[in-house]
Amino acid sequence: MATDLFSTARERLEDAARYLDIERDIIDQLRYPKETLAATLLVRMDDGSRKAFKSWRCRYDDTRGPTKGGIRFHPAVNVDEVMTLAFWMTFKCAVVNIPFGGAKGGVSVDVKTLSRAELERLSRVYVEAFSRFIGPERDIPAPDMYTNGIVMAWMADEYGTITGHPSPAIITGKPVALGGSLGRDDATGRGGFYILRHLGEDLGVSSDKSRIVLQGFGNASFHCARLLHDDGYRIIGLSDSTSAIYDPDGMNPYAVMEHKERTGHVAGAPTHGNARQLDNAELLETECDVLIPAAVENQITEANAARIKAPVILELANGPTTPAGDAILDKKGTVVVPDILANSGGVTVSYFEWVQNKAGYYWPVEEVHSRLKAILEPETRRVWEVARDKAVSVRTAAYVHALERIGHAVEARGTKAFFNQKN
């Protein structure tokens, strides 16, 4: 499945190229990553033994600037997944016009089996293994699945130890006390909220009448849900990895999160009293106005896309819809706001953190929110206009918009057409 993930990701590239007059060598450059490094991490465990963990870091393309991307700790991580995520990050940075290329890293590990001391040692060993691969001007990691601010703090500290001086710009998503940016904690969910609200009139979505279902209830999903709730939208469905709840009368995401933190799951969380327990598959097919997949890849597929009732999908997760599922949704007229746009708030505020680290000057949270909105709304409008003008899906439009931007950067250094010109 992981290999298929990378193959299907590259289908987006070929599809976008059909709508642009673009040199073939640009497409060839983007078909495979620039470089990928694998390492075996040997970690001293609490019982005195040493355990080996497979790990990777991929720098997909750096035409537009240093590469940028998270590090995930998960037992299913593999090289194909890492390359796919780095590919998506390349286009995500381009679609919102921040001066980064795409990267990703990962370790095949179940962090639930590690003590906190073992987790720290693993984090530091990862940086030791990849210290010559990453750097503030070369490749800037960030948190991802099962990594967080303290993991980033350990990694930044280890990099500083190796280089002999503090280097906060090496990593984003750090605690604020160690050079992190205010507003980074809710940036992905907030970005999705800004984008949905900006497109509200175009999508026929409004706070006074629209019902929202979110699959997944992690950081991004919670913050998006609370912002929508505070703005008047009705949250009627939420899920975690084990269960889902649905109440047509709505629910308060703050109360659901409090229940989840206390019990470990959303099942049994307080609602308005008409709740039903569902599973994740059922929740995806629930009638609503906006469906927000915010869990993992490949949730909407050829097998279930025809049963998706939501007329609008906002992809907070990376790759939640397969190309086969996407084709079915497009044929039905479902509007999908794609992941490379919908969840780009996180990398945008990571860019802000990097800028602040480089300058040694830090912004108030209101300025972070204002700058995020000022980037996302115009780029969202441009993607929407490409979709309208070229009569393509919003996903294809996002890739077209990003590919054109990357293409201009490649052309600035010369392509076949330039070198075939006569002096």
* Positions marked catalytic: 104
Distance, CA of 2 to CA of 94 (rounded, Å) = 24
Query: Could you give the strand order of the β-sheet that contains 35-44, starting from the edge strand earlier in sequence?
Result: 35-44, 50-61, 101-107, 67-73, 139-143
Helix (H, G, I), strand (E, B) or coil at 147: coil
Distance, CA of 65 to CA of 263 (rounded, Å) = 44
Distance, CA of 351 to CA of 370 (rounded, Å) = 14
Closest CA to 171 of 408, 359, 358, 391: 358
Helix (H, G, I), strand (E, B) or coil at 315: coil
Angle at alpha carbon of residue 309, lines to 228 and 197, rounded to 5°: 25
Sign of the four-CA dihedral 298, 171, 370, 409: negative
Question: Is beta strand 290-293 parallel, antiparallel or unpaired with respect to 35-44?
Answer: unpaired
Closest CA to 365 of 185, 178, 146: 185
Neighbours of 75 (CB within 10 A): 14
Distance, CA of 317 to CA of 340 (rounded, Å) = 9
Tokens matching residue 314? 């906002």
Per DSSP, 21 falls in state -
Q: Which residue matches tokens 């699945």?
A: 145
Single-letter amino acid, residue 192:
G
Single-letter amino acid, residue 220:
A
Query: Could you give the strand order of the β-sheet that contains 312-314, starting from the edge strand earlier in sequence?
Result: 276-278, 244-246, 234-239, 211-215, 290-293, 312-314, 335-337
Residue 217 CB-half CA count within 13 A:
29
Contact 72, 144 (CB under 8 A): yes
Distance, CA of 110 to CA of 190 (rounded, Å) = 29
